[in-house]
Homo-oligomer: A and B are copies of this chain.
Amino acid sequence: MFLHSVYFWLSNPESTDDRAALQAGLESLRGISAIQTAYIGTPAETRRPVIDHSYDLSLVLAFADKAAHDVYQDHPVHLEFVAECKHLWSQVKIYDVDAK
């Protein structure tokens, strides 16, 4: 398995339009068949010092393997998402995991 987890911090977190636009962009990614499972969400209500809940939206994708992840990275729907939405975030942090 290959896990690709992305945490997004909005440029304008107070803008409901920006948030909705990024959410819609993330939802568009579900159509990419290389993805095995897609989780799209927001910070849970848990609060402990070791928990980073400062992000605005998150995308966690599970792929069968790195090859499937690479197909996703180059997929036109993903490239369109980045082109259309990258102005919405000020920061992203990614964790890629070679998982079992």
B-binding residues in A (CB < 8 A): 1-3, 5, 7, 37, 39-46, 48, 50-53, 55, 58, 60, 62, 66, 69, 92-100
Contact = CB atoms under 8 A, between A and B. Distances in A.
A94 B50 CA distance: 6
7 contacts: A3-B60, A39-B99, A41-B97, A41-B99, A42-B97, A43-B98, A48-B94
A40 B93 contact: no
B3 A51 contact: no
Contacts of A43: 95-98
Contacts of A52: 93-95
Contact of A58 (B58, B69, B99): B99
A29 to B, nearest CB: 13
Contacts of A45: 66, 98
Closest 6 CB pairs of A and B: A41-B99, A44-B96, A39-B99, A41-B97, A51-B94, A46-B96
